[in-house]
Structure 1
Amino acid sequence: MTDTAFHFRKIAIPAFGPSLLFSIGQGAVLPIIALSARNAGASVALSGLIVGLVGIGSLISNIPASLIIARYGERLAMVWAAAFSVLALGLCLFPSQLGLLATGVFMLGMATSVLLLARQTYLIELVSPAARARAMSTLGGMRRIGVFVGPFLGAAAVHRLGLSGAYWVAILFIFASGALAYRIPDLETPTHPDGTVVRSPRVLEVLKAHWKTYSTLGVGIMLVSALRASRQIVIPLWGEHLGVSPAATSLIYGLMASVDMLAFYPSGKAMDQFGRFWVAVPSVLIMGVSMMLIPLTGGTLSFVLVSMMIGLGNGIGSGLVMTLGADASPREGRTQFLGVWRMVSDVGASGAPALLAGIAAIASLGLGIVVMGLGGFAAAAVFWRWLPRQTGH
C-alpha cells in the first residue's frame, strides 16, 4: 500500500468515530473522579488510588482483550466494551459509595483497554508504514479532542446537576460509541501471500520472541504513560489545594487538553518525516519540566499556564506509544504483541497515581508531583539510548 492510499475521509468514521465518542464520555468524568472520591469522604491519598484504578483496570485487561479481539473481532469487542462502560458509570452515580465508585472506575479502565487495542489493530492493517505515525497520532488526537470537549460538557452538567452530571454525559456519549461500533465492519482475517491464514501464536511465544523490545523501549513507554496518568490526578488535586472550584478545575483541565489537541497531527507528520526520536525526546522533557513546576504555582493564573505546558508536551507525543508499538509488532501475533505492549504501558499508567498517592500520604503532594516530573528525564534517557534517529521506513 502506498502513502497515497492513506485518506482520512475513507477511514474516518470506522477508525476514529467510536474512539472520539468514547473519549468525550471519558473526558467528562476524568477530572471528576478524584473530586467524587473526596466528596464521599476519601483522603487525598485514597482519592489518588481510586483515580489510579482506571489504569489498573486497563492493565489487567490488555492480554485478555487481545485474545478476545483475535477470536471475535474488534466490532463485537467494542460494542461489549461500551455496554460494560455504561454499567460501570451507573455504579459511579450512587452517592457517597466509595466501593461502588472504585468498582465503576476499575471497570471503565477495563473497557478502555478493549477499545484502544481494537482501534490500533484496525489502523495498522489499514495504513501503510509511511503514514503510520499520522494515523496513530490522529487516533491519539481523537482521544485528546474527547478529553478537551468532555470536561467542558462535564463542567456544564456539574453546574446544573452536581457531580453526577458528568457521569450522565459520559453515559450518553459512550452509549453512542457502542451504537456506532455496532454498524462498522470487522477487518478481514489476515492471510499470507499464498492465501493461508496467519497463525495466532500464544502470548508466551510473543513474550519470548520480543523480550528485548519490551525491556528497552518498553521501559520508556512505561515512563511516558506514568507522566500522562499523573496529570489526571495532579490537576484536580493541586487545583483543590489552591482552592479552585470543581467546575473551574474541569475548565482548566479542558484548557490543558486544548493545547494537547492542537499538536496531534503535526506530531504524526514529524514522526513520519523525520523519525520517532525527534518527537519522543522533546515531548517527555517538556512534560517532565512542566510537571516539576506545578508545586511552584501559587495562584490560578500560574497553575493554568503550567497546566497548558503539560498539555503541549503531551500533545507533541500524540500517538507515540501506539506508533512505536505498531513499528515493533510482528504480522503473526500482532494483536497479542500489542496487548503485552499496552500492558507494559499500563504498568506506568496504573503505578504512577499509586506512587503519587503514597508520597502524598508520607510526605506531601508537592514532592510527589516533583518525583513524577523526574520520570520525564528518565524517559528521555531511554529514548536517547534505544530509539533510532531515522524513520525506519
Structure 2
Amino acid sequence: MTNSLRHILLRMAPSMYGPTILYTLGQSALMPLIPVLAVRMGASLGLSGLIASTMVIGQLVGNLPASWLVARAGERIAMLVAAGVALLGVLGVLFAPSLGVLAVAVFVVGFAAATFGLARHSFMTTRVPFAFRARALALIGGSHRLGRFAGPFLAAGLVAATGDPLSAVWAFAGCLVLTALLVGFAPDPERVVPLPAPSEAGSGVGSARPAAGQGGSGAGAAAAAARGSSGIIGAVRAHGSALWRVGGSAAILSGLRAVKDVLLPLWGVSIGLDPAGVALVMGLSGTIDFALFYLGGQITDRFGRMWAALPPTIAMALSFFALALTHDSPAAVPWLIASAVVIGIGNGLSSGIILTLGADLAPREEPAPFLGAWRTLVDFGGAVIPLGVSAIAIASLPLAAGAVGLVAVLGAAGFARWIPRFLPTVAP
C-alpha cells in the first residue's frame, strides 16, 4: 500500500469506513427480525415477507431524491440527514401501532439507506484519485460485508440475552447515533481530503471515447446534453449510452449477488441438508467473499476494471450451471459446496467493482445525479432478478439455477463488450 493511499484511507476512516460499518451493522441486525415483529403483530407469513421487502423498495425509490440532496447539500450533510431519517424509521418500528405503520417505517429505513450510500459514493468519486480508486471503494465493500456478517450475530446475541426482538432494533438506533456522531464530529472529509488534480482524477463518461464510426458524437454530445438539462433526467440524457450498457451489466452482477442468498439455501434444503449444514455452506461462501475483498480492489486498480468484472461473472455463471446439472447427482452436496466456494471467490474478487464502475463513468463536476441513476438501475437488478428466480424456482429449482447462469452469461457479455469502449484499461 503506497503512502498516499494509506494517508487518504486513514483520513477517510472516521467519516467513511467507520460509519459504513456501524450503519450496516445496525441495519443487518434489524433485517432478520422484521418478519418476526410483523408476525407478532398478527401478520401472516406472506404479509410479513412483503413488509420486510419494503426496505428494498424504499432504497430503490430513495436513490433519486438522494441525488438531489447530495448535489445541493454536500455529502456530509446528506449523511447526517440520512442517519436522522433512518432513526425516525427505527422509532417507527419500535412503536408501530399497526402493520401499516410498521411497513412505512421499514420503507423509511430503506429510503434513508439510499441517501447514506449515495453520499458516500459521490464523495469517493470526487476525492479519491483514479490510481487507487478501486482499492478505496473495495474497502467500502469490505466495510459493508463486515457489517452484514456481524449484524445477524449481534441480533441473535441480544435477543438471546434479553428475550425481546426489539433489543436489536434499539441496537440499530444506537448504531445510528454513533454514525451521526462520527460523521458530525470527525474531521470534515471534504476539508481533509482535497480534490485530486485533473490528471489524477480520471475521466467521467462525459469524456469517454466514442465508439468507432461515431466521430465526435461522444464527449461533445454528452457535454451538450449536460448543459441542456440537469439532475437525474439530464444525467440520463447526457450519459445514457454508458449508463444502460455498463450499468445494465452491473445490475446483472448485483442481481447475481442477491440471488445466491436466496438460491443456495433453497438448494441446500432441497438436497437434504439440515439447517446447520445450510448455514455452514453460506458461512463458508461469505467468509471467502470477505477474505478477498481487498484483493479485488488491487486487481481492479493494477490490471483494469475488466479483470474484476468479467472473470468473476463467468465463474458465477459456471457455478450456477453446475448446480443446475447436479441437483439429482449422488454428489449433490459436494457440488453445492464447490459452487458456493466459487461464488464466494467471484463475489470477493468483484468487491467494489460496481461502485468503481459508477465512479469512473460519473461526470467529475457533478457526479451525484448520474450516481443516483446508476444506483437505481443497479438496485433494480438486485431486487428484480431474485424475484424472477424465486418465481421460476416454484416450478423447478434446477431450471431456476440454469436461468441464473444464462443471465450471468449476458452480464459477462455486456462487460466484455462495453467496458473496453467506455473505460480505460488501467489507471493513467
| Alpha-carbon distance in structure 2 between the residues aligned to 1:149 and 1:11 | 22
Aligned residue pair count: 382
| Alpha-carbon distance in structure 2 between the residues aligned to 1:240 and 1:159 | 25
Check whether the contact 2:125–2:367 (CA below 8 A) recurs between aligned residues: no
Q: Are positions 1:265 and 2:265 aligned together?
A: no
Aligned pair in 2 of structure 1 residues 252, 163: CA closer, same or farther (>3 Å)? farther
1:187 match: secondary structure: helix
Bigger relative contact order, structure 1 or 2 (CA pairs below 8 A, ≥6 apart): 1
> What corresponds to 2:411 in structure 1?
379
1:171 match: secondary structure: helix
Q: What are the equivalent positions in structure 2 for 1:1-393 lying under 5 Å apart?
A: 4-6=3-5, 7=7, 8-33=9-34, 40-43=43-46, 49-92=50-93, 99-160=100-161, 161=163, 163-184=165-186, 185=188, 187=190, 201-234=230-263, 253-291=282-320, 296=327, 306-360=339-393, 363-364=395-396, 367-388=399-420, 390-393=425-428
% of aligned pairs identical? 35
| Alpha-carbon distance in structure 2 between the residues aligned to 1:305 and 1:90 | 43
TM-superposed deviation, 1:374? 3.2
TM-superposed deviation, 1:190? 7.7
Check whether the contact 1:51–1:353 (CA below 8 A) recurs between aligned residues: no
| Alpha-carbon distance in structure 2 between the residues aligned to 1:122 and 1:23 | 18
Q: Residues 25-84 of structure 1: CA distance to partner in whole angstroms, max 9, x if unpaired?
A: 2232445556666774223xx666555433322221112101101112222221222232
Single out whichever of 21-30 and 206-215 deviates more from structure 2: 21-30
After superposition, the CA RMSD in angstroms is 3.6
TM-superposed deviation, 1:113? 1.0
Aligned pair in 2 of structure 1 residues 377, 170: CA closer, same or farther (>3 Å)? farther
| Alpha-carbon distance in structure 1 between the residues aligned to 2:121 and 2:67 | 11
Name the TM-score, length of structure 2 as normaliser: 0.76
Aligned pair in 2 of structure 1 residues 342, 206: CA closer, same or farther (>3 Å)? same
| Alpha-carbon distance in structure 2 between the residues aligned to 1:52 and 1:384 | 33
| Alpha-carbon distance in structure 2 between the residues aligned to 1:52 and 1:291 | 25
Q: Residues 197-248 of structure 1: CA distance to partner in whole angstroms, max 9, x if unpaired?
A: xx99333222111011012111101111111222344456666766855x98
Check whether the contact 1:255–1:308 (CA below 8 A) recurs between aligned residues: yes
TM-superposed deviation, 1:299? 9.0
Check whether the contact 1:15–1:123 (CA below 8 A) recurs between aligned residues: no
Check whether the contact 2:14–2:183 (CA below 8 A) recurs between aligned residues: no
| Alpha-carbon distance in structure 2 between the residues aligned to 1:332 and 1:180 | 27
Single out whichever of 140-149 and 72-81 deviates more from structure 2: 72-81
Aligned pair in 2 of structure 1 residues 359, 105: CA closer, same or farther (>3 Å)? farther
Aligned pair in 2 of structure 1 residues 95, 68: CA closer, same or farther (>3 Å)? closer
Check whether the contact 1:79–1:181 (CA below 8 A) recurs between aligned residues: yes
| Alpha-carbon distance in structure 2 between the residues aligned to 1:124 and 1:86 | 27
Single out whichever of 88-97 and 134-143 deviates more from structure 2: 88-97
2:121 match: secondary structure: helix
Aligned pair in 2 of structure 1 residues 117, 60: CA closer, same or farther (>3 Å)? same
| Alpha-carbon distance in structure 1 between the residues aligned to 2:382 and 2:293 | 20
TM-superposed deviation, 1:134? 0.6
Check whether the contact 2:301–2:427 (CA below 8 A) recurs between aligned residues: no
| Alpha-carbon distance in structure 2 between the residues aligned to 1:157 and 1:303 | 32
Aligned pair in 2 of structure 1 residues 151, 255: CA closer, same or farther (>3 Å)? farther
Give the partner amino acid of 1:282: P
1:266 match: secondary structure: helix
| Alpha-carbon distance in structure 2 between the residues aligned to 1:171 and 1:243 | 36
| Alpha-carbon distance in structure 2 between the residues aligned to 1:264 and 1:151 | 20
TM-superposed deviation, 1:304? 6.2
| Alpha-carbon distance in structure 2 between the residues aligned to 1:250 and 1:36 | 23
Give the partner amino acid of 2:132: A
Q: Residues 342-367 of structure 1: CA distance to partner in whole angstroms, max 9, x if unpaired?
A: 11111112212332343345x25664
Check whether the contact 1:158–1:165 (CA below 8 A) recurs between aligned residues: yes
Aligned pair in 2 of structure 1 residues 33, 311: CA closer, same or farther (>3 Å)? farther
TM-superposed deviation, 1:292? 5.4
Single out whichever of 250-259 and 315-324 deviates more from structure 2: 250-259
> What corresponds to 2:217 in structure 1?
none
Aligned pair in 2 of structure 1 residues 172, 63: CA closer, same or farther (>3 Å)? same
2:190 match: secondary structure: coil
Structure 2 unaligned runs (5+)?
199-226
